[in-house]
Amino acid sequence: MTKAVFTLPHRARMAALATTLALAGCASMAPPYAPPPLPVAAQYPETDTAGASAPDVAWQAYFADPRLQAMIAQALASNRDIRIAALRVEEARAAYGIVRAEQFPTIALGASGSRARAPADLSPTGRAMTSAQYQTGLNVGAWELDFWGRVRSLKDSALQTLLASDEARRAVGVALVAQVANGYLGLRELDERVELARATVDSRAESLRIFTRRFEVGSISKLDLTQVETLLSQALSLSAQLEQARAVQAHALAQLVGGPVDLTPVAGEVSRFDDASVLQPLHAGLPSALLTQRPDLIAAEHQLRAAQANIGAARAAFFPTISLTAAYGTASAELNGLFDSGSGAWNLAPRLVLPIFDAGRLRANMDLAEVRRDVAVANYEKSVQGAFREVADALSNRRWLALQVDIGKTTLAAQSERARLAKLRYDNGAAPYLEVLDAQRDLLTVEQQLVQTRRALLSSQVSLYAALGGGAPSAAASTH
């Protein structure tokens, strides 16, 4: 085999040429990014002037109840949605690493050897001959010189997708914190309502005992006795319904937390959960602040940037693709001469492909990238509008539910006095027991409604905290 031998200066010139070609490229053809204007009003319908910003308040400080803090911490560590979201980040990180590697040549060490025999009638010399070839060296396989920025645009798109997935993980964390807090508040609400119902059952059971004795001695009618029995049956039915609802709520909360959790009511806590232990005033600020506070909006913007980068890749596909295949090493017709002096060999094979006719494939790919960018814009605007509404709703709920709680307290005081006076009138023979029946039934309803309204007020503040972007650790994705 004839050996090709090249001098070092020539190899150096070829290496310098390849380096120059690589550095000359990488111009991005993606359109410049400009965030869409906010499709919402400049201010919320409900204004507030006091309080901290939600992202500045860690959930450990906002939710002061120790049991709730423990549940949130366990949920953030064990909840399956959080786990899936974290794995999605790792998936996007790996995909980014694959695309990023396309910017660099793939260099591999290879070695090969072959022997062949040609018969006499096929040999140029008219005699049978045997030939051999051995070679080893470094190979560069089909490295694209990114003159038009196609690979860079794909890398930028993958990076933005990675950042979006990490913000999506944070958004899942924000939602989970709010869900656990609301689930815990719902459980505490049911604990208090169950306690009220049990106290009512005990009171009415004692009333039935007294009225049964009175009926036995003939001091009251059968109608009065049946009315007392009706009151007790209603209280027993409500108590059973509330116990069922509490069990379902406990099961849902345990699933959110992601593992076993002690949800047994704690003595001394059931009578009234402290409204002030959950929550401090929050300042909503302006809608524009949501763009830097809410992880779901940040994720939507990263998705929009990724769609912009894909347009750059689609544009670059219209231009020639220049790739380089190269090899450098040694070659010899004899195995024992593979590393002898003068056995050096190299190969450089640039390749240029210019699209001429593709039946509209490149144009359709470009249209697809632009449509997907428009979809990303619409999704971003929709996310902003949804976030604006969530904050506005939470502000309105906080205001009007606080008023309803005040009204409920006044109503409860009046209803308690009504029940006391109705019982006094009946004991003095001035009113039938039906009046007492109605007053006590209304009193139980008002007690239950007030507990529900108080819990709804607390939930509105939890919703405001989540809507403003609080409740999860900061993004932690790192790229190079």
pLDDT level of residue 238 (50, 70, 90 thresholds): very high
pLDDT level of residue 154 (50, 70, 90 thresholds): very high
Q: Do 122 and 111 form a contact (C-beta atoms < 8 A)? A: no
pLDDT digits (tens, 9 = 90+) for 67-96: 888 999 999 998 999 999 999 999 999 999
173 token code pair:
């964390």
* Predicted local confidence at residue 267, as pLDDT: 60
* Predicted local confidence at residue 407, as pLDDT: 96
Instruction: Name which of 106, 91, 101 is nearest 151 in CA terms.
Output: 101
User: What's the full length of the chain, in residues?
Assistant: 480
Q: Tell me: pLDDT of 474 over 60.
A: no
pLDDT digits (tens, 9 = 90+) for 367-409: 999 999 999 999 999 999 999 999 999 999 989 999 999 999 9
Higher per-residue pLDDT: 231 or 10: 231
Q: Rg for the chain (alpha carbons), in Å?
A: 38
Residues paired with 135 in a beta bridge: 112, 331
Distance CA 391, CA 463 (A): 8
Distance CA 76, CA 92 (A): 21
Distance CA 19, CA 171 (A): 44
Chain position carrying tokens 């949130």: 72
Residue 148: φ, ψ to 5°: -100, 5
Residues paired with 323 in a beta bridge: 144, 351
pLDDT level of residue 19 (50, 70, 90 thresholds): very low
Interacting residues of 199 by C-beta distance below 8 A, sequence separation 6+: none
Q: What is the side-by-side strand order in the sheet with 107-118?
A: 107-118, 129-145, 321-332, 344-353
* Amino acid at position 468, single letter: L
Distances, alpha carbon 203 to alpha carbons 381, 414, 437, in Å: 57, 20, 13
* Predicted local confidence at residue 472, as pLDDT: 61
Q: Do 344 and 330 form a contact (C-beta atoms < 8 A)? A: yes
Distances, alpha carbon 470 to alpha carbons 55, 77, 156, 292, in Å: 4, 18, 28, 11
pLDDT digits (tens, 9 = 90+) for 416-450: 999 999 989 988 888 888 888 889 889 999 999 99
Instruction: Name which of 100, 301, 273, 258 is nearest 191 in CA terms.
Output: 273
331 token code pair:
């070659």
* Predicted local confidence at residue 26, as pLDDT: 52
* Predicted local confidence at residue 273, as pLDDT: 59
pLDDT digits (tens, 9 = 90+) for 354-369: 888 889 999 999 999 9
Residue 440: φ, ψ to 5°: -70, -35
Instruction: Name which of 384, 443, 310 is nearest 41 in CA terms.
Output: 384
Residue 140: φ, ψ to 5°: -115, 120
* Predicted local confidence at residue 126, as pLDDT: 75
pLDDT digits (tens, 9 = 90+) for 126-141: 788 887 888 888 888 8
Which of helix, strand or coil describes residue 332?
A: strand
Q: Tell me: pLDDT of 172 over 50.
A: yes
Instruction: Name which of 146, 152, 195, 130 is nearest 334 in CA terms.
Output: 130
* Predicted local confidence at residue 266, as pLDDT: 65
- How many percent of the chain have pLDDT more than 90? 42
Interacting residues of 196 by C-beta distance below 8 A, sequence separation 6+: 444, 447, 448, 451
Distance CA 247, CA 445 (A): 21
CA dihedral 190→195→199→205, nearest 10 degrees, is 70
Which has the minimum average pLDDT: 23-27, 266-270, 314-318, 347-351?
23-27
| Dihedral class, residue 142 (left if φ above 0, else alpha if ψ from -120 to 50, else beta) | left
pLDDT digits (tens, 9 = 90+) for 51-65: 667 777 888 888 888
Its pTM stands at: 0.81
* Predicted local confidence at residue 4, as pLDDT: 36
Higher per-residue pLDDT: 326 or 241: 241
Distance CA 15, CA 21 (A): 10
pLDDT level of residue 17 (50, 70, 90 thresholds): very low
Distances, alpha carbon 335 to alpha carbons 116, 304, 346, 375, 411, in Å: 14, 58, 18, 62, 102
Q: Tell me: pLDDT of 22 over 50.
A: no
If you average pLDDT over every residue of the chain, what do you get? Answer: 84
